[in-house]
Amino acid sequence: MSVSTVSTQPFEGQRPGTSGLRKKVDVFRKGNYLPNFVQSVFDTRPDLKGGTLVLGGDGRFYNRHAVQTILKMAAANGIHRVLVGQGGLLSTPAVSAIIRKHRAEGGLVLSASHNPGGPSGDFGIKFNVPNGGPAPESVTEAIYRRTQGIDRFFIDDAADLPINETGDYTLGAMQITVIDPVADYAELMEQLFDFDAIRDLFTSGFRMRFDAMHAITGPYAREILEHRLGATAGTVINGQPLEDFGGGHPDPNLTYAEALVEEMYSDQAPDLGAASDGDGDRNMILGPRFFVTPSDSLAVMAANAELAPGYAGRMTGVARSMPTSQAVDRVAEKLGIACYETPTGWKFFGNLLDAGRITLCGEESFGTGSDHVREKDGLWAVLFWLTIVAERRKSVTDIVREHWRAYGRNFYTRHDYEALDANQAKSLYTELAEKVPSLRGETLAGRKVVVADDFRYTDPIDGSQTSGQGLRLILEDGSRIVFRLSGTGTEGATLRIYVERFEADAGKHEQETQKALADLIDVATAICQLKARTGRDMPTVIT
């Protein structure tokens, strides 16, 4: 084998955001942009030398090229073994499961998740640590610091590796094992859920539609839902991973999962609709003409966890990201288990999961997961819902309505203003951050403001601190308005406004969400002077 040492120069802006380094494909294709970042990971993670690396991505444009480059760099950096998904494919939760099962020293996930793909879309790369989860900030910051001083990288001059068939190869002293992307993951799911019970549900005539959005979950969903669980062929739509996701935006929400939403709101709607995102860690759950908010989904799962074999009798606690609604808090209180509030991004759940403090966790952004891996997990959430339906034999809608009757309803919405001018958004946010503390004690929408701050978090396990995690206004009745700037976008800036209000009165649970929250939404947009500063008065996406 012949290893080259290639001299290089640092690029600006290689600091990972909420979830990895995400940029336009054009940026990744510039010179040594990708090798610089990968070498920075290898340089800051000495354990990888002589160790095992898991490698795969969501199949978007540039995935194949990046896999080849990383394999050759891994060999040149003395990695002992790489487990790579066939065709370079692996979902984010599968990477997490494989790192854990094979005790790997880390993994590289190639994905920009819910961001669009294709040559003019986005690409991304994320490093996961040995617990299977996204690297904590201390690690991403070390990688970032390294990118600022990098002056060389190592690469093997080999020809491209055959990754289309499973099997073992060597590249110099490094072993490459091309694995079936689905096998380990499917086996884990069989341990957590009663597949016989779900199979019976399908046999009884239960119909579902799963929209893989031409992203990574297609092969996983077909194998698990159609082959192992007996859902009828055609249950999975858009199941073929495509480099540009078929031109779509692989974000499973009411705006971008058009085909699914149209069917679920038609007279032919199946009993359950679900979708996942680019890299397979998000999920959306729908009943006929009924949308389950991700915050409610987490609460319903926690309340019904005893029905799933993998969770019965072992719920220690739950966690949610700060902007996620407080619906799950009510369940935790009733169950008498702990409930933690963390900053946005899955990396903040890692320590709590490792320490056994929590069993389930989730975010309002269509993410739910548990201690089975260290990432959120789209298909897992779907299997959890199928379990609840199979055991209770009730519709998705009835399950949620009954939940509201038992716990009260947390009306919740998120308004995203995407692709704002970056400078305008920054100045809006900076000035808002200055103004927020002064609102404490004021009256907004008829209620007194009791908390007005910028959310900061101290990790209860390792004491690490994180600040600047979102501006909060909490009113005396528990209602909340939260502002955040996205850390995953690649075009301009995205402002997210989260609004929540609790309603105990079951007679008022059927209100339309936007109406139920109208006064708080008006207050939120007025406080940040949205229209005057950005020219926008309509969100890009409402969830």
The burial of 225, by beta-carbon neighbours within 10 Å (0-12 exposed, 13-18 middle, 19 or more buried), is given as: buried
Q: With H, G, I as helix, E, B as strand and everything else as coil, classify residue 490.
A: coil
Are 492 and 419 in contact by the 8 Å Cβ rule? The answer is yes
Are 221 and 39 in contact by the 8 Å Cβ rule? The answer is no
Q: Looking only at residues 274 through 333 of this chain, which bind Co ion when binding is defined by CB under 5 A?
A: 277, 279, 281
Q: Which amino acid is at 310?
A: G
Query: Rounded to the nearest whole angstrom, what is the least distance from the CB of residue 494 to ligand VG1 in the complex?
Result: 6
Question: Residues 224-253: x/- map of binding to ligand VG1 (CB under 6 A)?
Answer: ------------------------------
- HSE of 428, CA atoms in CB hemisphere, 13 A: 28
Per CB under 5 A, the list member of 39, 69, 113, 321 interacting with Co ion is 113
Alpha-carbon radius of gyration of the chain:
23
**What is the pairing mode between strands 21-24 and 81-89?**
unpaired
Per CB under 6 A, the list member of 344, 368, 525, 543 interacting with ligand VG1 is 344
| Selection from 54, 149, 161 nearest residue 104 by Cα | 54
Query: Rounded to the nearest whole angstrom, what is the least distance from the CB of residue 220 to ligand VG1 in the complex?
Result: 15
- Catalytic-role residue among 113, 297, 321, 325: 113
Task: Give the Cα-Cα-Cα angle 211, 110, 114 (nearest 5 degrees).
Answer: 40
Per CB under 6 A, the list member of 365, 387, 490, 525 interacting with ligand VG1 is 365
Per CB under 6 A, the list member of 253, 359, 413, 488 interacting with ligand VG1 is 488
- HSE of 5, CA atoms in CB hemisphere, 13 A: 3
**Nearer Cβ to ligand VG1, position 81 or 372?**
372
Question: Residues 254-283: x/- map of binding to Co ion (CB under 5 A)?
Answer: -----------------------x-x-x--
Q: Which residue is nearest to ligand VG1 (CB)?
A: 113
281 binds ligand VG1 (CB under 6 A): yes
Token pair listed for 262: 């149209």
Query: Rounded to the nearest whole angstrom, what is the least distance from the CB of residue 163 to ligand VG1 in the complex?
Result: 23
The count of other CB atoms within 10 Å of the CB of residue 362 is 28
Total chain residues near ligand VG1 (CB under 6 A) = 18
| DSSP conformational letter for 439 | G
| DSSP conformational letter for 347 | G
**Nearer Cβ to Co ion, position 279 or 371?**
279
Query: Rounded to the nearest whole angstrom, what is the least distance from the CB of residue 106 to ligand VG1 in the complex?
Result: 17
Total chain residues near Co ion (CB under 5 A) = 4
- From CA 221, how far away is CA 373, in angstroms rounded? 18
486 binds ligand VG1 (CB under 6 A): yes
346 binds ligand VG1 (CB under 6 A): yes
CA 283 to mean position of chain CA atoms = 9
472 binds ligand VG1 (CB under 6 A): no
**Nearer Cβ to Co ion, position 298 or 475?**
298
Q: Which window, 105-113, 292-300, 389-397, 487-495, contacts Co ion (CB under 5 A)? A: 105-113
Query: Rounded to the nearest whole angstrom, what is the least distance from the CB of residue 19 to ligand VG1 in the complex?
Result: 4
- From CA 52, how far away is CA 8, in angstroms rounded? 26
Token pair listed for 151: 């002056």
Q: Which window, 234-242, 343-351, 398-406, 471-479, contacts ligand VG1 (CB under 6 A)? A: 343-351
Alpha helices in 209-265 (DSSP H): 217-221, 258-264
**Nearer Cβ to ligand VG1, position 181 or 270?**
181
Catalytic status, residue 120: no
58 binds Co ion (CB under 5 A): no
Q: What distances in angstroms separate CA 467 from CA 420, 430, 458, 470, one per listed residue? A: 23, 14, 9, 9
Binding residues (CB under 5 A) for Co ion: these are 113, 277, 279, 281
Question: Which sequence positions are flagged as catalytic?
Answer: 113
Binding residues (CB under 6 A) for ligand VG1: these are 18-19, 113-114, 277, 281-282, 321, 344-346, 363, 365, 367, 486-488, 496
